[in-house]
Amino acid sequence: MSLDSNQLPSREIPSPIEPPQADAKIFLWGVSLLAVVTFAIVAVAAGFRFPGQRGHETPTGERRLIDFSFTERGGRTVTREELRGKFLVVNFVHTGCSISCAMVNRRMAEVQQLVAGQEDVQLLSFTVDPGTDTPAVLSKFADQFGADPKRWLFLTGSKTALYHVIETSFLTRDPSSPYMEMPGGFRKADQIALVDREGIVRGYFPGMKLGTPADIARAVEELRRAGSKL
């Protein structure tokens, strides 16, 4: 006896397997994010600047290097008058500091190389810890970075006088902040300042960025040629 086709037992036909679209999207999103993060890390390390981003910050108000008289690591007295008419590349040191201070001073050492032979450029390092950073200590510290005693001066003196010059001429100070790694409570003490021949601070450059020495050397040349603001 034959069975009618309508009486045959029905079988479920399996639906086609759909690709895991959600998982694929998550995977592609993750790869894209990783690529962006990797590019950002490499770009920062290489000193890359996105279009329109400046390599330095300018003071919100006029900052001018005031008169001072401090002791250089070699023991001689250095005054503001001695430095008139020169471009000054200035940073702030604490010989007891570790990683960040070493990085900033390596950038200063690179600046020293880039401006070699330019007699109108002087490098200055003001200590923010004069109780520790005696001339002998500063001398040993400077030797680690190949600092030319004629081109790169390391200055110390009384804490009151040093802090007055740094706060008045360069950095904002907030001694109450619990997050300051360096003595004195100075904000952004890892910056390198550029002072023009008239003693006016023209810019602050990130002291730990690889591209900063070239940016500073370029800025000095621009100021020398044009005599105008950055």
Q: 143-178 pLDDT, tens per residue? A: 999 999 999 999 999 999 999 999 999 998 876 665
Question: Torsions phi, psi of 186, nearest 5?
Answer: -85, 135
Pair 160, 205 in one domain: yes
Sole residue written with tokens 């109780």: 131
**pLDDT for 36-67, tens place per residue?**
344 444 343 434 333 333 567 777 778 999 99
Distance CA 187, CA 156 (A): 19
- Whichever domain contains 122, its CATH number is 3.40.30.10
Q: How many domains does the chain have?
A: 2
Pair 95, 163 in one domain: yes
Q: Is 77 part of any domain?
A: yes
User: 175: which DSSP letter?
Assistant: T
Tokens of 23: 């998982």
Pair 127, 215 in one domain: yes
Evaluate whether 153 touches 72 at the Cβ level (below 8 Å): yes
**pLDDT for 173-228, tens place per residue?**
876 665 566 777 788 889 999 999 999 999 999 999 999 999 999 999 999 997 74
pLDDT recorded at residue 43: 40
Pair 155, 186 in one domain: yes
Q: Is 9 part of any domain?
A: no
Coil vs helix vs strand at 47: coil
Pair 97, 200 in one domain: yes
- Assess whether pLDDT exceeds 60 at residue 20: no
Domain that holds residue 139: 69-226
* Alpha helices, H only, the chain: 21-45, 99-114, 135-143, 159-169, 212-226
Pair 123, 39 in one domain: no
Distance CA 199, CA 169 (A): 9
Q: Is 15 part of any domain?
A: no
Pair 173, 202 in one domain: yes
**Residue with more model confidence, 163 or 19:** 163
